[in-house]
Amino acid sequence: MGRAVYRRIVLKLSGEALQGEHAHGIDQEVLVSIAEQIKEIRYLGVDVAVVLGGGNIFRGQENVARRGLDMDRSVADYMGMLSTVINGLALQNVLEKIGLPTRVMSALSMQQIAEPYIRRRAIRHLEKGRVVIFVAGTGNPYFTTDTAAALRAMEINADVILKATRVEGVYNKDPLKFKRVKKFDNLRYIDVLNKSLRFMDTTAVSLCMDNKLPIVIFNLNKKGNIKRVVLGQRIGTIVN
């Protein structure tokens, strides 16, 4: 089966990753596939925390960008945070149906459906073998869920952030729009910032750089890739 090279991970999933081929919403088959892959790495003894985006339900940037009737950025960001809670509850439901104890922890207070985020409690859940799903970002507007992933990873002493995408890694240009592209196997944090490679926002990359937290960017659409990354196989792009 192999031995995991990481003891504790933060898996960053965008909202778009959950919608599959649909224009919006949640694709149940995609959700089940992600849950089964998480189960595989839990059996390897890896502590798993998940940070979810909410773009499959609501994208604040699109509403802020409209001139004249544009939405206040803070309002749009809070609505986006609530979208991540919906995704978190959906993932928890599937994980528990396949036998994985799971806790949803929210940066916004909503105790009827999620625990409040408390660092020590999150670590204790992980130590007990539970999957922890972090929702509502950082609880503050103007910060993305990428930044939330970096922050939570450092708070729980994770070894790495696994950033799931729809492509094989980081490229010099968007491979979904251009034919001639170059894929990077390894990058330094400073290269990401200097080249303005937009796989993750600059605040999140800067946090990881300051705390020497590696990031692995990989294709979520290939089943088994989460396990391959955890086993140390060279796929995707490593930023360190």
pLDDT of 60 strictly over 70: no
223 within 8 A of 169, measured Cβ to Cβ: no
* Domain-embedded: residue 190: yes
Distances (CA, A) of 147 to 43, 98, 120: 28, 30, 20
CATH of the domain at 101: 3.40.1160.10
* pLDDT tens column, 158-208: 999 999 988 899 998 888 788 888 899 999 999 999 888 888 999 999 999
* Domain-embedded: residue 2: no
pLDDT of 65 strictly over 80: no
26 within 8 A of 87, measured Cβ to Cβ: yes
pLDDT of 20 strictly over 70: yes
Distances (CA, A) of 113 to 89, 90, 106, 177: 8, 12, 9, 40
pLDDT at 198: 81
* Domain-embedded: residue 3: no
Report how far residue 188's alpha carbon sits from residue 52's, in angstroms, rounded to the nearest whole number.
25
* Domain-embedded: residue 232: yes
What residue numbers bound the domain in which 221 lies? 8-57+85-239
How many domains is the chain built from? 1
pLDDT at 187: 94
Distances (CA, A) of 208 to 152, 181, 223: 11, 26, 27
* Domain-embedded: residue 173: yes
Residues written for the chain: 240
* Domain-embedded: residue 62: no
* Domain-embedded: residue 219: yes
Report how far residue 81's alpha carbon sits from residue 144's, in angstroms, rounded to the nearest whole number.
9
pLDDT of 144 strictly over 90: yes
pLDDT at 1: 61
pLDDT at 137: 96
Q: What is the mean pLDDT of the chain?
A: 92
* Domain-embedded: residue 67: no
Q: Report pTM.
A: 0.94
